Amino acid sequence: MSNPSYVALAAGLALFAVAQPADAASVFVANHSFEADKLGDGQFRNGYAPSGWSSGYAEPSGPANPLAGDFNEAVPDGENVMFSATGYDGSPYYQGNVFQQVLDGVAANTRYTLMVDIGRATYIDMADFAVQLVGGSDLTSVFASGSFLSDDIASGEFRTLTLTFDTAAAFEGPFGIRLRTFHNPAQGQGQRVTYFDNVRLDASPLATAAVPEPSSWALMILGAGLSGAALRRSAVRQRLAGSPVA
């Protein structure tokens, strides 16, 4: 038969169990693999934001359908990718930049996980780049940013970059994704290109500790008291049982 004091204590302590987070929910990303623009083999559109995305004026970026020899493997999703270039053309250094708003605000106690496949082509050096979760009216406030060094990706291959952003409180306002490349003067004036594909964003509630109600606190304290009394009685019985007979 169960000891009621232990049952009460167990019920109280169970209130401190950490709640398991729910499964992640996908956040819609328009044209996530850049397939909306129909291109033939080897075709690309420079200075053209892929459908569903935005960019600055004449940014050196856009959708592309790589040739078979551009990579040693098939592109991660579909046929197209998005390229973003950097370099120097006799005027100021240029660099690519595309972005997309995906939410009108974020939820409290939530982890946002962004995954993007990054490609390094066989025929050209890879540009320095950043994958970012951003906010603000013009999506320039950076909440999280991630990158790889060019040596982290073998020539002709893709690698998935994963970026997380945890919220404590909810807030309203534009929230989105930015993919950009940067010119590094130390790399000289030659053109460099980074490829992006298969952009995914998930949202999952963070694990939180349950907060006991006042009645639950009383139950837990009662259980602890009863358990202590039971342990003391058990100790007394053990001492009596072990005492020598006079």
Q: Which amino acid is at 245?
A: V
Residues above pLDDT 90, as percent of the chain: 59
Residue 106 and residue 64 in one domain? yes
Token pair listed for 194: 């980074």
Q: Which domain holds residue 79?
A: 25-205
- pLDDT-derived band at 228 (thresholds 50, 70, 90) equals low
Please state the pTM of the whole predicted model.
0.77
Task: Count up the domains in the chain and report the number.
Answer: 2
Instruction: Say yes or no: 95 and 164 in one domain.
Output: yes
Do 179 and 229 belong to one domain?
A: no
Label residue 233 by pLDDT band (50, 70, 90): low
Looking at the fold, whether 155 and 224 belong to one and the same domain comes out as: no
| Minimum mean pLDDT range among 21-30, 42-51, 137-146, 174-183 | 21-30
Same domain, 142 and 219: no
Specify if 108 maps to a domain. yes
Predicted pLDDT of residue 10: 45
Output b/e per residue, 94-115; b: 16+ Cβ within 10 A: bbbbbbbbbbeebeeebbbbbe
pLDDT class of 149 with cuts at 50, 70, 90? confident
Average model confidence (pLDDT) for the chain? 82
pLDDT value of residue 237: 53
How far apart CA 122 and CA 78 sit, in angstroms, is: 19
Residue 225 within a domain: yes
Are residues 11 and 44 part of one domain?
A: no
35 in the same domain as 13: no
Q: Is there a domain that residue 246 lies in?
A: no
Q: Is residue 118 part of a domain?
A: yes
**Backbone angles phi and psi of 154, in degrees to 5:** -70, 150
Q: Is residue 42 part of a domain?
A: yes
